[in-house]
DNA sequence: GGCGCTACTGAACGGTTGTACAGTATCAGC
DNA sequence: GCTGATACTGTACAACCGTTCAGTAGCGCC
């Protein structure tokens, strides 16, 4: 009864778009781009077939919206302050947190990356956001580095971003082979020599 | 005329399989998993529609064969000796060479990674090969490291592999933003502190 | 030179794809 | 309460999907 009346509820365009984006993410997380399908998504969202075209014009429009949303959430998550943690520690903790380092999230990223080659809209979105992403990480590194060290923060930031992407790939491909702890350790394997040069001689030592 | 007689040529099962795998790779490189399609692949290979089922049983069978082939070629490429280069230098040169670091190759990898979540056969193949891949890189690191250093080669190898995967992702996503030189530099950003600890104090210095 | 194996063909199949579109129902403004 | 705007529905459609299968033809073998 309630459901019947509920079902007819009308949402604002914005809310409905968000709901459809969520459903699309869920489908992609479950089955990759092969499950990014009108039927699957509307079933997941519990709406009729015509709604996607109505709100996004086409499936490509929906995919672009999903990409934009994912990038925004990623940036927001790594930018959120974590009281009591140094900025770099906060960054790494965010990156290995379930909000970003879960298979659902990472599988959506992997799928979107795979579509970028074919989809100019996605590529434009990436180009617009990536520069800022890298710059903010480079700035973080410069702040965290000891004053004496004069390393190339842009280069380290670039390598760090690639490492994070690669950790995401491995996590997707075989989650049991790469724990959250492993990922944290990998991040420090790259950064420690630059941020903690005092211990450079004993670089072998693991950081708990 | 010639083509007509040529067309009727019969190949060994092995040769035809290789030919279809090549065609499949070409299609995936061009359009991701959406172009991994019976029609597209047989058109690329210049054969009839029924051939894929005949040789591989199903499209999944073909995809598994492609994955296996890609992994084999990857291992072979990084294992090939490069006279005059230290083992680690040879490894990195192989990784940034066009044979491995081209968009065509990397886009196939990206697509296959995206399918692993859904495809148990691919995952089994990965699990079987990854351990050996990582172990061989760890062994290379141990050989290259100065005797005094006692760092965890397995951990560095793991991080290095993730970095390489991430470089591949970035290269696919936006080739103009990541040159072969950039990739080489990123590899050394990770490895130099462990393999060249003498210069650890001046870790900032770029290696040409 | 004929025989049998099998690589190979191509039409046919039911199911799924994304989009178009005519029609319905709900809510805001008056 | 009426009206207009629009969120929403659901059928229709042509194109394409992977697989099946009966039939054809090239090649090794005797």
Closest residue of chain A to B170, computed from CA coordinates: A162
8 Å CB contact of B166 and A170? no
pLDDT single digits (tens) A82-121: 999 999 999 999 999 999 999 999 999 999 999 999 999 9
Q: How far is the CA of A61 from the C1' of C30 (A)?
A: 36
**Mean pLDDT for the stretch of residues A149-165:** 92
CA distances from A6 to A2, A10, A13, A137, B149 (A): 6, 9, 17, 45, 67
Residue to test with chain A: of B37, B169, B192, most A Cβ within 10 A: B169
What is the pLDDT at residue B12? Answer: 83
What is the pLDDT at residue B204? Answer: 43
pLDDT band at A65 (very low <50, low <70, confident <90, very high): very high
**Alpha carbons B37 and B20: distance in angstroms, whole number:** 12
Residues B44 and B71 occupy one common structural domain: no
Quote the number of domains for chain B.
2
Residues A71 and A52 occupy one common structural domain: no
Nucleotide nearest to A62 (CA to C1'): C18
CATH number for the domain including A19?
1.10.10
**Alpha carbons B16 and B45: distance in angstroms, whole number:** 10
Residues A103 and A125 occupy one common structural domain: yes
Residue to test with chain B: of A102, A106, A113, most B Cβ within 10 A: A113
What is the pLDDT at residue B4? Answer: 39
Residues A31 and A109 occupy one common structural domain: no
Q: Which of A15, A37, A57 is where one domain is finished?
A: A57
Residue to test with chain A: of B28, B70, B102, B117, most A Cβ within 10 A: B117
Closest residue of chain B to A165, computed from CA coordinates: B166
Residues B31 and B109 occupy one common structural domain: no
Identify the domain containing residue B41 by its residue range: 1-57
B185 contact A CB<8A: yes
pLDDT band at A141 (very low <50, low <70, confident <90, very high): very high
**Mean pLDDT for the stretch of residues B65-94:** 95
In a domain, B38, yes or no: yes
What is the pLDDT at residue B61? Answer: 96
Q: How far is the CA of A17 from the C1' of C15 (A)?
A: 29
3-state class (DSSP) for residue A1: coil
Q: How far is the CA of B46 from the C1' of D6 (A)?
A: 51
**Alpha carbons A206 and A176: distance in angstroms, whole number:** 22
Q: Which of B12, B33, B57 is where one domain is finished?
A: B57
Residues A72 and A160 occupy one common structural domain: yes
User: Taking a contact as any Cβ pair under 8 Å apart, which residues of chain B between 142 and 161 contact chain A?
Assistant: 149-152, 155-156, 158-159, 161
Residues B100 and B139 occupy one common structural domain: yes
Query: Across all residues in chain B, what is the average pLDDT?
Result: 90
pLDDT band at A151 (very low <50, low <70, confident <90, very high): confident
Alpha-carbon gap: B136 to the closest alpha carbon of chain A (Å): 17
In a domain, B182, yes or no: yes
Residues A107 and A208 occupy one common structural domain: yes
Residues B113 and B21 occupy one common structural domain: no
What is the pLDDT at residue A10? Answer: 85
What is the pLDDT at residue A56? Answer: 97
State CA B19 to chain mean position distance: 19
3-state class (DSSP) for residue B46: coil
pLDDT band at B6 (very low <50, low <70, confident <90, very high): very low
Residues B49 and B89 occupy one common structural domain: no
A194 contact B CB<8A: yes
CATH number for the domain including A79?
1.10.357.10
Q: How far is the CA of B9 from the C1' of D30 (A)?
A: 24
Asked whether residue A13, judged by its CB, lies under 7 Å from any atom of the DNA or RNA strand D, the reply is yes
Nucleotide nearest to B16 (CA to C1'): C7
Residues A76 and A50 occupy one common structural domain: no
Which of B155, B170, B200 is nearest residue A197 as measured by Cβ atoms?
Answer: B200
A109 contact B CB<8A: no
Cβ-contact B125, B61 below 8 angstroms: no
Instruction: Tell me the three-class secondary structure of A79-93, residue by residue.
Output: HCCCCCCCHHHHHHH
What is the pLDDT at residue A148? Answer: 64
In b/e form, how buried is each residue of B64-74, taking b as 16+ CB within 10 angstroms? bbbbbbbbeeb
**Mean pLDDT for the stretch of residues B97-107:** 96
Residues B116 and B174 occupy one common structural domain: yes
In a domain, B203, yes or no: no
What is the pLDDT at residue B149? Answer: 67
What is the pLDDT at residue A38? Answer: 98
Q: Token pair 């925004």 is at which residue?
A: A72
In a domain, A62, yes or no: no
Q: Which of B23, B42, B57 is where one domain is finished?
A: B57
């Amino acid at each position: 009864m309630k459901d019947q009346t509920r079902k007819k509820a009308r949402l604002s365009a914005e809310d409905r778009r968000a709901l459809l984006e969520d459903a699309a993410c869920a489908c992609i997380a479950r089955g990759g781009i092969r499950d990014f399908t009108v039927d699957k998504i509307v079933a997941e969202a519990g709406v009729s077939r015509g709604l996607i075209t109505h709100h996004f014009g086409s499936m490509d429009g929906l995919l672009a919206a999903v990409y934009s949303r994912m990038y925004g959430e990623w940036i927001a998550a790594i930018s959120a302050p974590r009281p009591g943690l140094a900025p770099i520690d906060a960054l790494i903790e965010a990156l290995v947190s379930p909000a970003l380092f879960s298979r659902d999230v990472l599988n959506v990223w992997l799928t979107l990356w795979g579509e970028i080659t074919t989809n100019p809209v996605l590529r434009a979105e990436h180009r617009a956001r990536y520069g800022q992403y890298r710059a903010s990480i480079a700035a973080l590194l410069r702040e965290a580095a000891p004053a004496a060290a004069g390393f190339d923060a842009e280069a380290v930031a670039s390598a760090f971003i690639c490492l994070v992407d690669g950790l995401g790939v491995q996590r997707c491909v075989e989650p049991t082979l790469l724990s959250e702890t492993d990922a944290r350790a990998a991040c420090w394997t790259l950064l420690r020599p630059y941020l903690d040069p005092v211990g450079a001689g004993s670089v072998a030592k693991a950081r708990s």
